[in-house]
């Protein structure tokens, strides 16, 4: 009688994910999971729930490649705007202020991401080379640039706060998923890194450097 067991092949089963509880992991091509976080000023911001995603939105500060440089230029433009807000400007002062404005835009492009540079080009209007801009034109151009930079930094701060809140929410979910009495390992957690006991069952004083 032929042995039928030789022809039987073992059934292949998909391997369980290495994650907690054998839950299937998200594929590399799947879109990142997002959560909506309401910031203290009442603004709802969509951010990724975890930091292992290739989504560029997970790092809001990445839109500014040189934040210190951008902040210096923004502070300089704001100071100039305050100085010339009410003071009359002659032709030489207006010419010089227009040159400072154009150079500031060029320097900002080196510290911003390409998409922000494109946005800056779309919203700013260059001065004509033939005519010296008026006082009002210079003040409007500088006020527009200062307002855009302030909005940029406010948006980055809001997104960073939202990511911090999302990370705290994710950590709380991980803690709730642990079995009763279990605590995540790490410094500052009770039960982790306790002092060793001596022969009399008392905590050993340890070694001192």
Concatenate the DSSP letters of all residues of 14-53 into one string.
Answer: PPPPSSGGGPPPPPTTSPPPEEEEE-TTS-EEEEESSS-S
Question: Looking at residue 199, what is its pLDDT?
Answer: 58
Question: Looking at residue 204, what is its pLDDT?
Answer: 54
User: What global pTM score does this model have?
Assistant: 0.52
Segment 79-97, tens digit of pLDDT: 988 888 878 889 999 999 9
| Residue 173 CA to its chain's centroid (Å) | 22
Measure the CA–CA gap between 151 and 74, rounded to whole angstroms.
Answer: 12
Three-state DSSP state, 16: coil
* 183 located within any domain: no
Measure the CA–CA gap between 158 and 114, rounded to whole angstroms.
Answer: 21
Cβ contact 40:158 at 8 Å: no
Paired residues of 48 in beta bridges: 34
* 29 located within any domain: no
- Per-residue pLDDT for 78 more than 60? yes
**Token pair of 155 as six digits:** 């948006």
Three-state DSSP state, 197: strand
- Per-residue pLDDT for 190 more than 70? no
- The owner of tokens 């839109």 is 63
Domain count, the chain: 1
* 9 located within any domain: no
Measure the CA–CA gap between 146 and 3, rounded to whole angstroms.
Answer: 85
Segment 114-173, tens digit of pLDDT: 898 999 899 888 887 778 888 888 999 999 999 999 998 888 888 888 888 888 888 888
* 32 located within any domain: no
Looking at every residue in the chain, the average pLDDT score rounds to 70
* 12 located within any domain: no
* 130 located within any domain: yes
Domain extent for 110: 61-159
Question: Looking at residue 147, what is its pLDDT?
Answer: 92
* 179 located within any domain: no
* 37 located within any domain: no
Q: Tell me which of 84 and 181 has the higher pLDDT.
A: 84
């Amino acid at each position: 009688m032929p042995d039928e067991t030789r022809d039987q092949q073992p059934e292949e089963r998909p391997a369980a994910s290495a994650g907690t509880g054998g839950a299937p992991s998200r594929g590399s091509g799947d879109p990142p999971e997002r959560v909506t976080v309401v910031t203290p000023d009442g603004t709802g911001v969509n951010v990724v729930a975890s930091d292992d995603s290739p989504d560029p939105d997970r790092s809001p500060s990445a839109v500014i490649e040189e934040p210190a440089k951008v902040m210096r230029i923004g502070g300089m433009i704001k100071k100039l705007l305050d100085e010339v807000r009410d003071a009359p400007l002659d032709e030489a002062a207006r010419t010089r202020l227009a040159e400072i404005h154009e150079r500031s835009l060029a320097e900002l492009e080196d510290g911003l991401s390409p998409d922000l540079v494109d946005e800056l080009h779309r919203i700013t209007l260059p001065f004509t080379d033939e005519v010296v801009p008026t006082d009002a034109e210079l003040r409007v151009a500088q006020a527009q640039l200062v307002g855009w930079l302030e909005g940029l930094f406010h948006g980055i701060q809001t997104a960073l706060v939202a990511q911090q809140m999302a990370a705290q929410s994710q950590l709380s979910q991980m803690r709730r998923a642990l079995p009763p009495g279990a605590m995540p390992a790490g410094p500052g957690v009770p039960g982790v890194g306790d002092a060793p006991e001596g022969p009399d069952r008392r905590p050993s004083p340890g070694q001192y450097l």
